[in-house]
Amino acid sequence: MINSYYKEEIEKQRHRMIFLAQEYGLSSPETIKCSQELDRMMNTYFSSPLASEKNLTQ
């Protein structure tokens, strides 16, 4: 299912960001870049029809 694919990709990016923050610090360029990418992914997902209320609870 497409919806679960995007959720999994967002979750992977979130874990990557947490790892980078622990490894390099919250203000490191690597962490900031990863955080910005996560923001972009989430904004894209939540503004799409895939993020209907029904899909958010699955």
Model pLDDT, residue 32: 98
Model pLDDT, residue 58: 52
Region for residue 48 given its phi and psi (left: phi exceeds 0; alpha: psi -120 to 50; beta: otherwise): beta
Give domain limits for the chain.
1-46
| Class of the CATH domain delimited by 1-46 | few secondary structures
The tens digit of pLDDT for each residue in 11-55 reads: 999 999 999 999 999 999 999 999 999 999 999 998 887 666 555
Q: Cα(44)–Cα(30) distance, rounded to whole angstroms?
A: 21
- What's the pLDDT band for 4 if we cut at 50, 70, 90? confident
For the whole model, what pTM was predicted? Answer: 0.79
Are the C-beta atoms of 58 and 3 separated by less than 8 Å? Answer: yes
Are the C-beta atoms of 44 and 9 separated by less than 8 Å? Answer: no
Model pLDDT, residue 19: 98
